[in-house]
Amino acid sequence: MVVAPVWAVPRGTEGVRIMVQGGIAHGMTAADCLTGTGLTDSDLDDEGTEIWAHQEFAVIRNIVRRLGDRPGVGIEVGMHSTIGRSGVIGFMLLAGPTLREAVERAIPFLALSPTHLRFSIGSDSEDAYVLADDSELPADIRPFVVERDVAGLAAALRGVQIDFTPLRVETTLDPERAALLGQVLRISADCVVSGQRRNRLVLPRSMLDLRLPQADENTARAFERQCHELLARRLGRVGVAGQVRSRLLHNPGELPSMPAIADELHIDARTLRRRLAAEGTSFRALLDEVRRQRAIEMLATEAGVEEIASQLGYAETANFTHAFKRWEGMAPSYFRKVGRADADSGLPR
């Protein structure tokens, strides 16, 4: 089975609920956490609500902006994680039968879980290890997510009586963040190595092969079928256009090309173009839509028009201005002036 990129699949609200709970514990309100996401409290209470990765990233940025980009914030949020809050994939993990088999079974369905790290497992002649790839994440939220998801993994497993204590941790985090993560993982400071190119949790080989407390192979296979069905349903409902739009929104500082997105989706550019056409759209139309959305958002900030044009991938500011006039019927500088005047007067736009 081809592993779907985590940004390509709409997910449940489990991860956002964990973060909102963490934000509230630090004096934020749910509305503070959800600002700019298009989500409401009632959405979080609706088990049918599905969100995209970029909406969850907006929640992270709200929390970091409010609480400060200090080491340990992600850990504090991640400690609210439980197996139950992982959705159906969490129960599949719990049914085992061993940690190794559970993780291997879950890997194709990571996009159904609250994590945004790409987990995998391996072993050598001496040790086993869990790898947690953070390369798909926007740089500004990467430390928070590594803290949150590694600490959350340990908290969730310990919540079901699985003693997840690595022998050593190698991480992309800086020394202060890495030391705090080591404390949560209950390992000594000299067993934590910061500033690495990857996140690797080194474990005793025997840990991966221990039978899990709630192991039942039949139950695990039943949950695996549910994961197959849920992933296929979500991908089918949003179509290729939804996946491309999500990728374009994934990282505010990056607008990948159509061949790059096709490669991440494990198809060629010609196939991607054909599938988008079958859904009544094109890569250029989706790129225009995303650029327009980002331009309006950025014009509400202090960013200059030249900076906005550059971030949206325009070689010349004049090209951006021309495109914006086509979208909104006015120049971006005038749109910003009108928008601020409306905000000051309290009038709806």
Same domain, 16 and 137: yes
Tell me if 230 is assigned to some domain: no
Which of 70, 67, 54, 56 is CA-nearest to residue 17?
A: 56
Give the model confidence (pLDDT) of 280-312 as tens digits.
999 999 999 999 999 998 998 889 999 999 999
What CATH number has the domain bearing residue 116?
3.90.1520
Report the C-alpha gap between 272 and 263 in whole angstroms: 10
Same domain, 32 and 130: yes
Q: What is the per-residue pLDDT for 278?
A: 96
Specify the pTM.
0.86
Tell me if 119 is assigned to some domain: yes
Inter-residue contact 8 to 246 (CB < 8 Å): yes
Q: For residue 200, give the 3-state DSSP assignment.
A: strand
Q: Tell me the C-alpha to C-alpha distance, in Å, between residue 287 and each of 83, 240, 266.
A: 37, 14, 20
Residue with tokens 């010609």, as numbered in its chain: 270
Rg of the chain over all Cα atoms, to the nearest angstrom: 22
Sign of CA pseudo-dihedral 223, 226, 232, 238: negative
What CATH number has the domain bearing residue 252?
1.10.10.60
Give the model confidence (pLDDT) of 93-121 as tens digits.
989 899 889 989 998 898 888 899 999 99
Q: Which of 192, 221, 250 is the last residue of a domain?
A: 221
Tell me if 267 is assigned to some domain: yes
Same domain, 217 and 244: no
Tell me if 169 is assigned to some domain: yes
Same domain, 181 and 326: no
Q: Which of 221, 256, 284 is the last residue of a domain?
A: 221
Mean pLDDT of 154-160: 90
Domain that holds residue 153: 6-221
Same domain, 106 and 254: no
Q: What is the per-residue pLDDT for 327?
A: 94
Number of domains the chain contains: 2
Q: From start to end of 102-230, where are the E strands?
A: 118-123, 127-133, 168-170, 192-193, 200-204
Mean pLDDT of 14-18: 90
Mean pLDDT of 157-176: 92
Top pLDDT among 6 and 277 is at: 277
Top pLDDT among 213 and 61 is at: 61
What is the number of other CB atoms lying within 10 angstroms of the CB of residue 221? Answer: 13
Give the model confidence (pLDDT) of 216-274 as tens digits.
999 999 999 999 999 888 888 889 999 999 999 998 888 999 999 999 999 999 999 99
Give residue 141's identity as a one-letter amino acid code: I
Q: What is the per-residue pLDDT for 8?
A: 87
Tell me if 226 is assigned to some domain: no
Report the C-alpha gap between 150 and 201 in whole angstroms: 9
Same domain, 180 and 296: no
